[in-house]
Structures are given as C-alpha cells and as structure tokens.
Chains A and B, each alone.
Chain A
Amino acid sequence: MKDVKSQANKTPASGKQGGLNAEIQSRIGHQLRAMYDDVVRQGVPDRFAELIRKLDVPAADQTNNNDGRD
C-alpha cells in the first residue's frame, strides 16, 4: 500500500493524498452510487403503494376528500 501511494505521488494529478488515491476514491463513490441508484430506479413496488394507501389513519378533521391520486 505504501508502495503504491508513494508512486502515485509522482503523478501530476496528485491531490492531497495522491492521484491514485483520488482516482480510487472516485471509483468507490461511483460503485456505491451505482449499486444504490439501481434500486432507487426500481421505484415503488406495488405492495408499498398499497400499504400506504390502505393505512389511512382516520384523519377526521381532514376536509378535502379528494381521493384522486394521479
């Protein structure tokens, strides 16, 4: 690890911890977000939409009866 870092410091792109480290960190960030966003893009599974719609705790003081979910 030390070896790689010391070599990385020779590159012009070296930031505070070296270019290789910055490159690796950006790859890790990218992989992490790719994993996460893949699930986010799946949207809301029906079971949860149903659950939230049905679990309408009685809010008697809610005057608008607009049930229309577009």
Chain B
Amino acid sequence: MPLTDALRDDILASVPSLRAFAISLSGNSDRADDLVQETLLRALANIDSFQPGSNLPAWLFTILRNLFRSDYRKRRREVEDAEGNYAKTLKTQPSQSAHLEFEEFRAALDKLPQDQREALILVGASGFSYEDAAAICGCAVGTIKSRVNRARSKLSALLYVDGAEDFGPDDTVRAVIGGNG
C-alpha cells in the first residue's frame, strides 16, 4: 500500500518497541539504533509489499529480526563485547543493587541461544501472541512455545537456582530455600 500519513504515524508509533526489541536482542544501544534505522529504511522502501490491515508491528519486527540475524553472523564478536553497554542507555540510572541485578539479568539473557532469546523477548516482553511470534521467526507455533519454555528454565537456572541465597527478601521464597523454622 502507499505510504499514507496514517501509515507513517503507525510506523513511527512502532519505533519505541522496535528499539526495545533491538536492544534486547543485541545488548548494544548503538547497534540497536542502526538496526532500527535500517529496518525503517527497508520498510519504507518495501512499503508496497505491506498488506493493508495486516499486523504492522509484526511486519516491522520481522524485518528487524531478519536484519539482526544476517548481521549477527558477521559481527558476533562485537555483540559479545557489548556486555555492560546497555546500562548506559538507561534514562534513569538504577540504584547500585538494582543495577547489579540488572547486569546479571542482561548477562544471563545473553547466554541464551539466539533462537530462545528472541522467542522469549517477543512473547514475554513485546507481548506478541505465540502465533505472531512464530510468524516473525518463520517457525511453527509449537517451536516458539518450546523455545520460550527452554529460555525461561535456562534463565531461572542461571539466575536463581545456582545462587539461591542471593534470591532476595521474599518471605515465602526465603522460607522455602532456607528452611529455617
């Protein structure tokens, strides 16, 4: 369809979540913004192939995801160096303990296989249905479900089971872990 004002507004409205997706995937805010820019250029250049009435965010996410994957192979090392870079993009600097917790989470997320990480982000953070996430990743719905499940259990093993004592001030959990009664 032609690029109408309404469509342009819709694309613009998708930019914040495209950036969040790109940063979550890459862990690097500069790379993420380059990805978003390339995604937008590609979307605008191929706007004729967008079906009116279909899911615009899903279409844009598909473009970004494919760009990231083709780019990722070339730049693997750079992506791995990005640990810690993300925190600089935060508007509000978290307190030190929250910051540490965040860094741990980010590091654990980066340890997931890429298939699992993208599935988890799409379903767990972007709020796509399993069906939409499957379409974005070009795989079956069941595949997405199992990737999300594996991502969740791997994160929980990385973050909480190994260091159960660090879990935090939750009475139920503390009672369960410590068993001190």
Contacts and interface: CB of A to CB of B under 8 A. Distances in A.
Interface stretch (B37-45, B76-84, B133-141): B37-45
Interface residues of A, number: 44
A4 B156 CA distance: 12
Contact of A41 (B5, B40, B91): B91
Please classify the interface of chain B as helix (H, G, I), strand (E, B), loop, or mixed, using the class held by over half of its residues: helix
Please classify the interface of chain A as helix (H, G, I), strand (E, B), loop, or mixed, using the class held by over half of its residues: helix
Interface of B: 2-5, 8, 11-12, 15-17, 19-21, 23-24, 33, 36-37, 40-41, 44, 47, 89-92, 101-102, 105-106, 109, 120-121, 124-126, 152, 155-157, 159-161, 164, 170, 172-173, 175-177, 179
Given A39-B16, A55-B44, 18 more contacts: A1-B157, A7-B179, A11-B176, A20-B176, A21-B156, A23-B172, A24-B160, A29-B124, A31-B105, A32-B109, A32-B121, A36-B20, A36-B24, A36-B121, A42-B19, A43-B16, A48-B12, A57-B2
Interface of A: 1, 4, 7-8, 10-11, 13, 19-21, 23-25, 27-29, 31-33, 35-45, 47-49, 51-53, 55-57, 59, 61-62, 64, 66
